[in-house]
Structure 1
Amino acid sequence: MKLLPTPEQAAALEATLHAANRAADLVSRIAFTQRCFRNYDLRKHTYDRIKAEFGLAAQAAQHVIKKVADAYRALHANLAAANAGAANLGKQGSARRPKAGSKPITFRIGAAQPYDDRCLSWQLQTRTVSIWTVAGRLRGIAFTGSAVQVAMLAAHRRGESDLVCRDGCWYLIATCVLPDVPVTAPDAFLGVDLGIVNIATTSDGDRHSGKGLNAVRHRHRRLRRRLQAKQTTSAKRLLKRRARKEARFAANVNHVIAKQIVTEAERTCRGIALEDLQGIRERVRLRKPQRVMLHAWSFHQLGGFIAYKAARRGVAVIHVDPAYSSQQCSACGHVDKKNRPDRETFSCTSCGFAEHADVNAARNIASRGVAGWAVSHAA
């Protein structure tokens, strides 16, 4: 939820984040020096000190200590995973692994700060919040939100909310726990083929072109290159102001595509079959210009959007092996590289079936979804 504080309120919120994160840095150094990482043990060493030095209230001080303890718990879990062979902290032999555990964790001066119901209260009727700051309790801070968002807050908000400042705007990120929607047994599956030229193509023949998104990315890439070459203060300021703009645009495109796919699957009582593209960046070997496009490809985000939107509507989602789906004929099942004379065309050398290559691949994914669902839900 976006907050609309007055300049005085914004200054108090900023001072609160700065104080909380300076305190978190101190707690982190103490935890690292004394090798004390448990929340309860850290309180004994740091609670009174950070309250006195940084002017934190009791709940705020406890949240700072818990934030540090959680950060070290995540770090140690990543280190353990890395020792077991996972790439959480880079590949074997990378410089990130030894550096990760060799120094205390630091916190950005504007990093998010958690709040619970003792130091934050919502007045949903008046669209305001009351929140603790180092300048005292601030009441009547306005926030924006649609009627749907406010209703969700009223019915499903649980636990803590995080205070965040992003690009000069203030937000409260509230956790809402929605009840599970029973998954409806699908009559069939809607296959979705993911790509770069066409972001998503369905087995119904709907193609969501990536031409506009790729043009935006190319324009942003050229602009970044020119600004980085200048190395002036104004160029750096413009780069900072434009940060995440491309990511927001891509996320919006993915949201729109995901909503259309889920809506169509729900309307026709079908499930959704997606490609399992785990590790594709490591498997594929491409030339440098193509690598740039591949690494900017947000297929994982689109798959995540489809999955959570489908879960909220009770639509089944299954991930299938995409191997040879672009070379296999969806009519007769014949697999041959020669079935793909070019990127857009599929022409089966066995039965003569012809179709757009992405639509043919999506149909293969849909049929594999049917088979995979039958195996996983066999009586």
Structure 2
Amino acid sequence: MKLVVQVRLLPTPVQAAALEATLRACNEAATWAGRVAFEKDVKRNFALREHTYSEIKARWNLGAQAAQQVIKKTCDAYAALKANLKAGNLGRPGSQRHRKAAGKPVAFRPDSAQPYDDRMLSWQIPERRVSIWTVSGRVKDVAFTASPEQLATLALHRKGESDLVCRDGMWFLLATCEVPQAPPNTDPADFLGIDLGIVNIATTSDGEIMAGRKMNRIRARERALRTKLQKKGTPSARRRLKKRRRKEARRVRDINHKIAKHVVAEAERTGRGIALEDLTGIRERVRLRKPQRATHSSWSFAQLGHFIAYKARKAGVPVVYVDPAYTSRTCAECGHIDKANRVSQARFACRNCGFVDHADRNGSRNIRARARELWRRGASSTAPAPPPEHVRRGGTGRKRSITASDARWASPSL
């Protein structure tokens, strides 16, 4: 399986200037190649090369391999745009957003990442040095820093391209590694159900609750500070906004990595699989009051699910996605479904059998039960049956339809 190892470069001022000039030249060339591809409707690598290769080498003083990487990057950008348009990620066909995205050539920021192959970049991992091509010539002995685990992964499994990235004045190389994965566990003893939420980030069917109070406090504080600085609007306020713009995301990413690592390690230790909810499209399905929208929009359930999935794949732990419909209203003991079962955010009390439990723990047990059933059927079943007619419903009393998505065996690519 492919993993990306990020290492930080420590260039001297002269080396940093050469890297900056290289990124700027490559991205200017890629933007020009994007216009040519759009005007001539030529968006495949070899076809576009005929129209742009010589011009890119001459105008921007790029080497042969660098010019080919620029053209390949442009074609990859058009392929990604086509996939996003087809998937509806840029609006429905005919909408203003869809027309705007499809009706102009792709463009690249001056600091967009630039791919390097082994002919343009060589690693000296024991010495923690790289030699990298620039428009000013080959720059040697560029220092980098990484953890011992990252160095070991680079030394054993690095394979393929690396991307040069400049982020907030810091330089990074994102190296692609082909890491072997453990044989998949085809006969799990059971499943570890995971209920994802905002108040509690993850709750397991074993009863372990990973609360999100700290993360939510961080987000609320950062949101308040951003609002204050944006209203102020002074140059110093804008500088501070720019400095803090990725701080919250880094914290959230770190917390999600730790939770995912813990969940996968527990499942691997006990010989179980992992059961997750399929929350695709949940942002479009729910209606929220205005004060709740920012909190819900910043909920990083997709990132946490992705981290769990790829770590599980590396460890050989099976992951099954189940439909989340009514997991919070269903009693894990007797199966009774009722909106009134969910007494509050944290408390579940069954109106039929009197079973009382933490609401998220009850939901995770339902997720585990659905995963068991799907695995027994070969993970080919779809959503659970709709609730019986006597189930009480909120709102106007009209019946709610269930939008079911197929449960599937998770083996995500990175």
TM-score, normalised to structure 2, is 0.87
- 1:297 Cα deviation after fit: 0.4
> How has the CA–CA distance of structure 1 residues 170 and 349 changed in structure 2, closer, same or farther, with 3 Å as cutoff?
same
Contact 2:182 2:316 in 1 (8 A): yes
Paired position in structure 1 for 2:154: 153
Aligned match for 2:29, one of 23, 33, 49:
23
Give the match for residue 341 of structure 2. Answer: 339
Q: 1:311 aligns to what?
A: 313
Q: 1:78 aligns with which of 71, 79, 84?
A: 84
Tell me how far apart the structure 2 counterparts of residues 224 and 91 of structure 1 sit (CA, whole Å).
32
Q: 1:3 aligns with which of 6, 9, 13?
A: 9
Inter-partner Cα distance in structure 2 for 1:298 and 1:60: 36
Cα deviation, residue 154, structure 1: 2.0
> Structure 2 counterpart of 1:237, which letter?
R
Cα distance per residue 1:261-282 (max 9 Å; x no partner): 1111111111111111111111
CA displacement at 1:93 relative to structure 2:
4.9
Q: Secondary structure at the match of 1:108?
A: coil
Report the more deviating stretch, 307-316 or 22-31: 22-31
When structure 1 is superposed on structure 2, of 140-149 and 369-378 the one drifting more is 369-378
- Alpha-carbon distance in 1 for matches of 2:268, 2:252: 24
- Alignment of 1:103 onto 2:104: yes
Query: Match for residue 94 of structure 1?
Result: 95
Q: Aligned equivalents of 1:122 and 1:256: distance in 2?
A: 29
**The one of 65, 70, 76 aligned to 2:71:** 65
Matched with 2:376 is 374
Q: Distance in 1 between matches of 2:363 and 2:314?
A: 27
Question: Following superposition of structure 1 onto structure 2, how do residues 1-379 of structure 1 map, counting pairs within 5 Å?
Answer: 1-79=7-85, 81=86, 86-184=87-185, 185-376=187-378
Change (3 A) 1:94 1:218: farther
The amino acid of 2:247's aligned partner reads: K
The farther-off stretch of 369-378 and 15-24 is 369-378
- The CA deviation at 1:202 is 0.7
Q: Which amino acid aligns with 2:112?
A: A
Structure 1 residue 377: deviation in Å?
6.1
Structure 2: stretches of 5+ with no match in the other structure: 1-6, 381-414
Equivalent AA in structure 2 for residue 219 of structure 1: R
* Separation (CA, whole Å) in 2 of partners of 1:29 and 1:199: 44
How far does residue 78 in structure 1 lie from its aligned partner after superposition?
A: 3.3
| C-alpha distance in structure 1 between counterparts of 2:301 and 2:82, whole Å | 29
Secondary structure in 1 matching 2:377: helix
Q: Which moved more, 1:200-209 or 1:31-40?
A: 31-40
The DSSP-based 3-state class of the residue aligned with 1:214 is: helix
Q: 1:122 to 1:242 in 2, by over 3 A?
A: same
Name stretches of at least 5 consecutive residues in structure 1 with no aligned partner: none
Using the TM superposition, give the Cα deviation of residue 324 of structure 1 relative to its aligned residue in structure 2, in angstroms: 1.2
1:227 Cα deviation from its structure 2 partner:
1.0
1:15 partner letter: A
Measured in 1, the distance between the counterparts of 2:149 and 2:313 equals 18
- Taking the aligned partners of 2:379 and 2:79, their CA distance within structure 1 comes to 37
The 1:196–1:54 alpha-carbon spacing in structure 2 relative to 1, beyond 3 Å, is same
CA shift at 1:338, angstroms? 2.0
Per-residue deviation at 1:301?
Answer: 0.5
Whether the 8 Å contact between 2:93 and 2:99 is mirrored in structure 1 is: no
* Matches of 2:259 and 2:76, distance apart in 1: 35
SS of 2:25's equivalent? helix
Give SS of 1:59's match. helix
User: 1:340 and 1:326 mapped to 2: Cα distance?
Assistant: 7
Q: How many residues align?
A: 373
The separation in 2 between residues aligned to 1:3 and 1:96, in whole angstroms, is: 38
Q: CA deviation at 1:73?
A: 2.4
The percentage of counterpart residues that share the same residue type is 60
Give the Cα separation in 1 of the matches to 2:360 and 2:100: 44
